[in-house]
Amino acid sequence: MPLSDEEARLLQQLEQSLAAEDPEFASTLRGSRLVARTRRVAVLSALGFLAGIGLLLAGVMVPQTILGVIGFVAMLGSAYLFVTSYRRGLAVGAAPSSSGPKGPRGGKGRKPKSSGSFTDRMEQRWNRRRDGDEY
């Protein structure tokens, strides 16, 4: 049942006031839709990957090269969609957990939160090892 014009206007005003009062909460609510969409794309791409495997095997069983090529291309496309939607879902849906400090390691105390890319984190670990800090 669709909302009336008055109800839609009131809902829009409530959303705007929520975004003005607590922008972090509002962005969390907006992000849940995006996470659901990326999850749906990931599931559909996984199904497309399985269909591509089926086409590839059918192309091998029945000597139809074009069918195997189409299956392979479908697998590649589905894998690409899956990886991009998975990364997007991680970027949006991953909320930092506040489990608290895990305790000191080697008497050094709490370590700073690492940020950056994978190579930056690996470089920081290498520098800590080289400087004699405990891993």
Residue 27, classified by CB atoms within 10 Å of its CB into exposed (0-12), middle (13-18) or buried (19+), is exposed
Quote the number of domains for the chain: 1
Say how far apart CA 120 and CA 115 lie, in whole Å: 8
Give, for all 135 residues of the chain, the pLDDT tens digit.
677 888 888 888 887 887 788 777 776 666 666 777 888 888 899 999 999 999 999 999 998 899 999 999 999 999 999 988 888 776 655 544 444 444 444 444 455 555 678 888 888 888 888 887 655
Residue 30 counted as domain residue: yes
What sections of 1-135 are H helices per DSSP?
5-21, 23-61, 65-93, 118-130
Residue 49 counted as domain residue: yes
Provide the domain limits for residue 84: 7-94
Residue 59 counted as domain residue: yes
